[in-house]
Amino acid sequence: MGLPNILFIVIFGVAVYLFIKSISRISFNIKLGRDIDITDQSTTRWKTMARVAIGQSKMMVRPVAGFFHIIIYVSFILINIEVLEIIVDGIFGTHRFLSFLGGFYSFLIGFFEVLAFAALIAAIVFLFRRNVLKVSRFQNEEMKGWPFLDANLILMFEVVLMSAIILMNAADFKLQMLGAAHYHETGSFPISSFLVGFMPDSIGTLIIIERTTWWIHIIGILIFLNYVPYSKHFHIFLAFPNTWYSKLNPFGELDNLESVTNEVKLMMDPNADPFAAQPPVESEVPAKFGAEDVTDLTWKNLMDAFTCTECGRCTAVCPANQTGKLLSPRKIMMDVRDRAEELGKFRKEKGKDEIDDKTLLGNYITEEELWACNTCNACTQACPVNIDPLQIIVDMRRFLVMEQSKVPAELATTFTNIENNGAPWQFSPADRLNWKDER
Beta strands in 186-339 (DSSP E): none
52-57-62 Cα angle (round to 5): 130
Q: How many CB atoms lie within 10 A of CB 189?
A: 22
| Spatial distance between the Cα atoms of 211 and 208, rounded to a whole number of angstroms | 5
Provide the b/e sequence for 360-383 (b: ≥16 CB within 10 Å): bbeebbebebbbbbeeeebbbbbb
**What pLDDT does residue 283 have?**
45
| Closest CA relative to residue 145, chosen from 338, 288, 431 | 338
Do 56 and 66 touch, CB atoms closer than 8 A? yes
Beta strands in 6-89 (DSSP E): none
| Spatial distance between the Cα atoms of 365 and 292, rounded to a whole number of angstroms | 10
| Closest CA relative to residue 90, chosen from 203, 187, 2, 193 | 2
Predicted confidence pLDDT, tens digits, the chain (439 residues): 688 889 999 999 999 999 999 999 999 999 999 999 999 999 999 999 999 999 999 998 899 899 999 999 998 888 888 888 899 999 998 888 888 888 898 898 899 999 999 999 999 999 999 999 999 999 999 999 999 999 999 999 999 999 999 999 999 999 999 988 888 888 778 999 999 999 999 999 999 999 999 999 999 999 999 999 999 999 999 999 999 999 988 777 777 777 778 777 777 777 766 555 555 554 455 578 899 999 999 999 999 999 999 999 999 999 999 999 999 999 999 999 999 999 999 999 988 888 889 999 999 999 999 999 999 999 999 999 999 999 999 999 999 999 998 988 888 888 888 888 888 888 888 887 777 777 6
CA–CA distances in Å: residue 10 to residues 90, 91, 323, 355: 11, 10, 55, 39
**What pLDDT does residue 412 have?**
87
The SS3 call for residue 34 is strand
| Closest CA relative to residue 236, chosen from 106, 95, 80 | 80
Residues contacting 266, CB < 8 A, separation 6+? 272, 274, 277
What is the pTM assigned to this prediction? 0.88
Complete domains list, the chain, with CATH: 3-30+62-234 (1.20.950), 258-425 (1.10.1060)
117-120-123 Cα angle (round to 5): 150
Do 168 and 210 touch, CB atoms closer than 8 A? yes
Q: Sort residue 20 into left (φ over 0), alpha (ψ -120 to 50) or beta.
A: alpha
CA–CA distances in Å: residue 166 to residues 62, 218, 220, 223, 269: 30, 13, 14, 19, 74
